[in-house]
Copies of this chain bind each other. A is one copy, B any other.
Amino acid sequence: MKATGIIVEYNPFHNGHDFHVHESKKQTEADCMIGVMSGHFLQRGEPALLSKWYRTEMALRSGVDLIVELPYVYATQQADTFAAGAVAILNQLQVASICFGSEDGRIEPFQRAVQLTDSSQPSEHVKSLLKEGYSYPKAMSLALQTTEDSIDLSQPNNILGYAYVKAIIDQHTGITPHTIKRTQAHYHDIELPTTPIASATSIRKSLHTQSSIEEISPYVPASTTRLLEDYVTTYGRFHDWEQYFTLLKYKLLTMTPRQLADIYEMEEGIEYRLLDASKRASTFAEFMSLVKTKRYTWTRIQRMCVHILTHTMKEEMKPFLHVDAPPYVRVLGMTKKGQEYLRLIKKKIEVPLVTKISKKQADTILRLDLKATSVYGMSLPEPLRSQFSMQDFTTPPIILS
């Protein structure tokens, strides 16, 4: 069986994702589609709209055969660590190809860009641009613009694509990278379009502001609509940052600047901005507008906030920053075909394959993921909150026949 890996968040799963799954499968001639999916906190430093189990089922009902979790230590990182973690997991799962969506749509420019930035010359160029005050993505983009037929690395999916190809090469995986041009919807679009493909951003915005699942149903598979409805029935609402702002504010007010400086991604100076803003703001939106500076991207600040919220410290993240083997491969769900594939290759997986959590795993390698689930569940009322925090233990992998 030939497997293709995709790196996803499905927040929520929509028609664009559906297209990507099926087109990837066709282009790579795969028998089995494997998704490595972020857990409850996402790369842009946000809580997921709904739980990882619901998002897993959405994927399984739309053509993905196996969903494994991208651990917190990778999922809440900037592009390079995020990509390296995801590729390392897919490599453990013996995928032949990885296929990602991009604004560009051609794989060669990505491969060329990785080769170029691998030599010392452009790297120095990037360094000098960073010294001039450009952000990392912007500096990379400027450096690459001097080459012919280059990809635009200011585009969010191109940035990730570049990081995937780089990780595939750096980790000597032998995986073949593929890319598919994203159709119509732009990553940051906030309005719903008239075509069946809408951006996840516009879908989320609609779900948060209108709380109307009906309005977004033209843009998502019927199974997604049903699962979104079921989630609201069960948990009352979708998750967003505002629901966690009380906890973030409380956490900040009980921390000294020195304690805050130990939080992952915290850099000198910004901790005072965060502490000050937390005292003055009464909503997360207000807080962000007070904290935002030209020096840091929005997503970078949001990621810092996620690490504060979960109290994730520099020393806890350090072991994962140089990605070698992932700490584990955790199965969230699979179809019969995914199950069959896993049975065939599981002896080749060099790290623990987690389907049921042991006490030892809960205290060690899975600790940050379990904590992320508990913190994520804090936005729910009791008794749902206490039940939710146990779900990592009580929910077996979803199996779809």
- The residues of A with any CB-CB pair to B shorter than 8 Å are 246-247, 249-251, 253-255, 279-283, 309-311, 371, 374-375, 378, 382-383, 385-386, 389-390
Report which of B254, B282, B375, B386 forms a contact with A382, defined as CB distance below 8 A: B282
Distance, CA A111 to CA B193, complexed state (A): 83
Most chain B beta carbons < 10 A, residue from A371, A383, A386: A386
A279–B375 alpha-carbon span in the complex (Å): 11
Contact A251 B253 (CB under 8 A): no
Chain B nearest CB, measured from A261 CB (Å):
15
User: Contact at A371–B253, with CB atoms within 8 Å?
Assistant: yes
Bound CA span A249–B377, Å: 12
Q: Contacts of A309 on B, CB cut-off 8 Å?
A: 254
| Known pairs A253-B371, A371-B254, A378-B250; A279 contacts B389 (CB<8 A) | yes
* B282 A386 Cβ-Cβ under 8 A: yes
Give the complex CA separation of A385 and B245 in angstroms: 13
> Chain B contacts of A382 at CB under 8 A?
282-283
Which of the residues B250, B311, B375, B386 comes within 8 Å of A375, measured between beta carbons?
B250
Whether A253 touches B375, Cβ cut-off 8 Å, given contacts A247-B247, A279-B389, A389-B279, is: yes
Residues of B with C-beta under 8 A to A280: 386
Q: Which 4 A-B pairs have the closest CB atoms?
A: A254-B311, A282-B382, A253-B374, A282-B386
Determine which of B250, B279, B386 lies in contact with A250 in the assembled complex, contact meaning CB atoms within 8 Å.
Answer: B250
Closest residue to A249 on the B side, CB-wise?
Answer: B378
User: Which chain B residues border A255 with CB–CB below 8 Å?
Assistant: 311
Complexed CA–CA distance, A310 and B254 (Å)? 6
Contacts A382-B283, A383-B282 given; indicate if A250 touches B253 (C-beta within 8 A): no
Q: Which residue of B lies closest to A387 (CB)?
A: B282
**A365 CB, nearest partner CB in chain B, Å:** 15
Expressed in whole angstroms, the Cα–Cα distance for A116 and B255 within the complex equals 44
CB <8 Å contact, B375 and A254: yes
A251 to B247, CA, bound (A): 9
- Report the Cα distance A371→B278, complex, angstroms: 13
Residue pair B310, A385 in contact (C-beta under 8 Å): no
A240 to chain B, nearest CB (A): 16
Closest to A378 in B: B250
CB distance from A393 to the nearest CB of B (A): 11
* B-chain residues with CB within 8 Å of residue A390 when the two chains form the complex: 279
State the CA gap A246–B255 with chains docked (Å).
18
Q: How many Å from the CB of A253 to the closest CB on chain B?
A: 5
Given contacts A249-B378, A253-B389, A282-B382, 5 further A-B contacts (CB under 8 A): A253-B371, A254-B309, A254-B310, A254-B371, A282-B383
Chain B residues near A253 (CB-CB < 8 A): 371, 374-375, 378, 389
User: Which residue on chain B has the smallest CB distance to residue A382?
Assistant: B282
- Give chain B nearest CB distance to A288 CB in angstroms: 16
Q: How far is the CA of A279 from the CA of B246 in the complex (A)?
A: 19
Chain B residues, Cβ within 8 Å of A371: 253-254
